[in-house]
């Protein structure tokens, strides 16, 4: 059974997502269609990339991931399909796939060809429905990538800047990447970077003296820093919102300092 | 495989939609259930009709479309199922199906019969779950319409007023029908009505001198008029919201004037 | 075909729900996954319980219901799976299952065992994905409960306080449990409690003199009390919001008085 995940900035008030699903089911009514989210802020490519990065590996090998956050629709940006580790990613070549793959080079890349897809007369405003959805359906139905596009060099897909953490004197300086529904702040600091004893973790007025194991290690309403389900440093408030309490937002600087090893010579 | 689309004003905070899906899967656990949207404003029949009109044709022939926006539940309004172009529409006879079909006359119409459906003891507040959902499940499972209701004359279903564009001296006067998630204004002016050279398109303070091919034909933040994915005139702002910027809302008047052909006699 | 319903407080802006679905489809790609709602207010156990209570019986026997509202994730609260009336409920043992079952004792109960589930290395922040989702997938795929956990006494699952209505002198005193999307107030007063002639129904400034059969029994904008689709007393405004108009909210007291039978002796 072919599985297609969908991730867009279309929202759920309109029927844009429904139209894409109709097109896919018209190609293959047995496809399994799974929504990741459609509430990406309009045209927020980085947010979409981070969401897809967080989710795609949990799906079975062979899954096709359709991502449509496409401010350049109708312009010259390429429409691509990329295979990576037995998953296929379909979407505009605007950085969203690069971000989803964390900069990894795809194993195979094609530039979508409307004629191969049977979508010669496509709208200029909704390639999600007229180009990407039929391409994803064909791929999920088993078509090789070369059935939907022309092979291109996997290397030069459009890159996206994701803030990277910096090593500092006895510490790490990173940033908040996303705030989740609970007001938890997800940072760009991976778990392995904070594997040594922590002295202090701060972002603005958020400040804790240690890395905790779970929310329940602190009292209700208290700040807590822990390793998130994405295996990165997360700043939270137990049973509350770190975003609201400490005014955390994407881009906010996060600093981690480590316990100094006592050096007898100093 | 039977496909049922769902379009309601139930929202997604409650489990009303889930209850309808449970009922349908209890009839036939192999049904494919696809949400169009459940965020229609409460009891907004016209909005629901326009959403369904925009989406239904993208689904495969044989699809059943279940629409429940039903301010008259429990009153005498009829509950109907209508076949049109190999699709079946199930819902209250309150104008929503007339609007979805753009006034076309159904090929076949039945008035739902609770006894035929095995729903003799139905609630008076939730026909979506107790009457429409089982009817849709039976139809999607292959039952003829006569298995769920009594044949009625397809002609007199309840009509709904959808504003129609008017031809004016060298132009068209239409209206905004819907605003989408991006703040784009969808009008009632179909693409064929603006197929001649345009001089001016305006709605309130929104004003452009031409019809563009895609959003990227203008600079970011600039107004743009183009043909929407619904094949109608759309008023937008590139990478922005026309609704917010120009205070566009459903019902706002839209005027299009065409380039005057120079008449040597004048 | 195995059916799994999902009910969480994860919202739909993030991909937490998508990650759980990916995990389940990785176990069994033929599973049918049905969202009940993900918009339960963060960590609102009672609301989640009432939503699940309202919906689960509409699904076919054999359905697995996955509920993850889990403020105690990572603490010592138990993770359980309970069978009741041929349905299985999987979630944290924090009262949500007790509330969903309205206090009924499960027919069979197991405490989930990460090793049996093949989830020995689980995150401490997202048991929904790492523990509950694979358990639900295995059960929906046909595994007996003893394949995912150790049998426990069904009796002492964590209880939750749901307000109960009280009989008063010639009447009932109850409470609003939930407000739905329309602003209708759902009470804890079951239909059988108001089966005798009603004299007066009130909550704050909401006041009506009778129990109506449907919304359309009153004029638009008028208050109406009727039996809800959950077979409980509901306070509503026809084509309007009782919540907004009368400031009703969960916890608000609701009083019902019955018509006094004329006693000739008095």
Mind giving me the DSSP string for B31-42?
-EEEEEES-SPT
Q: Are B188 and B163 in contact (CB under 8 A)?
A: yes
Q: For C262, what's the count of Cα atoms within 13 Å in the CB-facing half-sphere?
A: 1
Q: Are A25 and B59 in contact (CB under 8 A)?
A: yes
- For residues A15, A17, A22, A25, the Cα torsion angle rounded to the nearest 10 degrees is -160
Q: What is the pLDDT of residues A208-221, one digit of tens each?
A: 999 999 998 999 99
Nearest CA-CA partner of C203 in C157, C234, C166: C234
- For residues C43, C47, C50, C56, the Cα torsion angle rounded to the nearest 10 degrees is -50
Q: Do A15 and B229 lie within an 8 Å CB cutoff?
A: no
Runs of H (alpha helix) within chain A: 16-27, 45-55, 96-100, 114-117, 127, 133-140, 242-246
Please tell me the predicted confidence (pLDDT) of residue B46: 94
Q: What is the DSSP letter of B128?
A: I
Q: For A58, what's the count of Cα atoms within 13 Å in the CB-facing half-sphere?
A: 26
Partners of A202 in the β-ladder: A207, A255
Model confidence band, residue C178 (pLDDT cutoffs 50, 70, 90): very high
Please tell me the predicted confidence (pLDDT) of residue C266: 43
CA A238 to chain centre: 25
Residues of chain B contacting C, Cβ within 8 Å: 10-16, 18-19, 21-23, 25-26, 29-30, 33, 42-43, 71-75, 123-126, 129-130
Give A261 or A191, the one with higher predicted confidence. A191
- Closest Cβ–Cβ partner in B13, B25, B73 for C37: B13
Minimal CA separation from A127 to chain B, in Å: 9
**Position C234 pLDDT exceeds 70:** yes
Minimal CA separation from B95 to chain A, in Å: 19
Identify the segments of chain B with pLDDT beneath 70.
120, 261-266
Nearest CA-CA partner of C22 in A253, A34, B203: A34
Chain C contact probe: residue of B14, B16, B121 with most C CBs at under 10 A: B14
In chain C, residues with a C-beta closer than 8 Å to the C-beta of A41 are none
Residues of chain A contacting B, Cβ within 8 Å: 9-16, 18-19, 21-23, 25-26, 29-30, 33, 42-43, 71-75, 123-126, 129-130
Please tell me the predicted confidence (pLDDT) of residue A241: 95
Nearest CA-CA partner of A227 in A200, A196, A189: A189
In chain C, residues with a C-beta closer than 8 Å to the C-beta of B71 are 215, 239
Q: Do B125 and C234 lie within an 8 Å CB cutoff?
A: yes
* A227 Cβ neighbours under 8 A, 6+ residues apart: A191, A194, A211, A233, A234, C123, C124, C125
Nearest CA-CA partner of B78 in B27, B144, B7, B150: B150
* B144 Cβ neighbours under 8 A, 6+ residues apart: none
User: What chain C residue is nearest to B124 in terms of C-alpha separation?
Assistant: C214
Give the integer Cα–Cα distance in Å for A180 and C11.
Answer: 9
In chain A, residues with a C-beta closer than 8 Å to the C-beta of B35 are 12, 18
Q: Among B92-106, B252-266, C91-105, C194-208, where is mean pLDDT lowest? A: B252-266
Q: Do A5 and C13 lie within an 8 Å CB cutoff?
A: no
pLDDT over 90 percentage in chain B: 84
Q: Are B118 and B134 in contact (CB under 8 A)?
A: yes
- Closest Cβ–Cβ partner in A1, A35, A181 for C18: A35
pTM of the model: 0.93
Q: Tell me the torsion sign for CA atoms A92, A93, A94, A99.
A: positive
At C234, give phi and psi (nearest 5°): -125, 135
User: Taking residues C169-180, what's their average pLDDT?
Assistant: 93
Chain C contact probe: residue of B71, B125, B134, B141 with most C CBs at under 10 A: B125
Give the integer Cα–Cα distance in Å for B14 and C177.
Answer: 13
User: What chain B residue is nearest to A34 in terms of C-alpha separation?
Assistant: B34
In chain A, residues with a C-beta closer than 8 Å to the C-beta of B51 are 14-15
Give C216 or B85, the one with higher predicted confidence. B85
Residue C250 CA: distances (Å) to CA of A239, C94, C162, C199: 20, 20, 11, 24
Runs of H (alpha helix) within B28-178: 45-55, 96-100, 114-117, 127, 133-140
pLDDT over 70 percentage in chain C: 97
For Cα atoms B107, B113, B117, give the angle at the middle one, nearest 5 degrees: 105
In A64-221 the beta strands, taken as DSSP E runs, fall at: 64-68, 79-84, 87-92, 108-112, 149-151, 166-168, 171-179, 185-190, 198-203, 206-208
Residue B23: CB atoms within 10 Å: 22
ipTM above 0.90, yes or no: yes
Q: Do A180 and C14 lie within an 8 Å CB cutoff?
A: yes
Q: Do B22 and C60 lie within an 8 Å CB cutoff?
A: yes
Please tell me the predicted confidence (pLDDT) of residue C263: 54
CA B165 to chain centre: 17
Give the integer Cα–Cα distance in Å for C83 and B185.
Answer: 51
User: Taking residues C115-139, what's their average pLDDT?
Assistant: 90
**Position C17 pLDDT exceeds 60:** yes
Please tell me the predicted confidence (pLDDT) of residue B204: 96
At C183, give phi and psi (nearest 5°): 85, 10
Chain B / chain C CB contacts < 8 angstroms = 99
Q: Among A30-44, A150-164, A219-233, C79-93, where is mean pLDDT lowest? A: A150-164
Residue C77: CB atoms within 10 Å: 17
Q: Among A38-47, A190-199, B233-242, C72-81, where is mean pLDDT lowest? A: C72-81
Nearest CA-CA partner of B230 in A24, A27, A7, A19: A19
User: Taking residues C91-108, what's their average pLDDT?
Assistant: 95
Please tell me the predicted confidence (pLDDT) of residue B263: 54
Nearest CA-CA partner of C141 in C23, C16, C53: C23
Q: Are C234 and C185 in contact (CB under 8 A)?
A: yes
């Amino acid at each position: 059974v072919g599985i297609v995940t969908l991730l867009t900035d279309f929202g759920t008030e309109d029927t844009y997502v429904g139209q894409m699903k109709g097109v896919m089911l018209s190609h293959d009514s047995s496809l399994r269609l799974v929504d990741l989210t459609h509430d990406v802020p309009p045209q927020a490519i980085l947010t979409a990339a981070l969401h897809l990065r967080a989710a795609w590996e949990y799906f079975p090998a062979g899954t096709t991931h359709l991502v449509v956050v496409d401010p350049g629709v109708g312009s010259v940006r390429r429409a691509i399909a990329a295979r990576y580790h037995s998953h296929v990613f379909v979407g505009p070549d605007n950085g969203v796939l690069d971000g989803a793959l964390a900069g990894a080079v795809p194993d195979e890349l094609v530039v979508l060809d409307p004629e191969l897809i049977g979508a010669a007369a496509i709208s200029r405003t909704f390639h999600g429905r007229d180009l990407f959805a039929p391409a994803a359906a064909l791929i999920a139905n088993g078509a090789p990538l070369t059935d939907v596009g022309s092979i291109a060099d996997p290397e030069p897909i459009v890159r996206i800047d994701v803030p990277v953490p910096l090593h500092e004197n006895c510490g790490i300086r990173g940033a908040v990447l996303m705030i989740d529904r609970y007001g938890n702040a997800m940072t760009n600091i991976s778990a392995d970077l904070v594997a040594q004893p922590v002295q202090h973790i701060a972002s603005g007025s958020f400040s804790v003296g240690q890395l905790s194991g779970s929310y329940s290690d602190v009292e209700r309403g208290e700040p807590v820093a822990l390793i998130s389900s994405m295996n990165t440093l997360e700043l939270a408030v137990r049973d509350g919102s770190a975003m609201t309490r400490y005014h955390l937002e994407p881009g906010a600087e996060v600093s981690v300092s480590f316990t100094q090893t006592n050096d007898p010579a100093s």
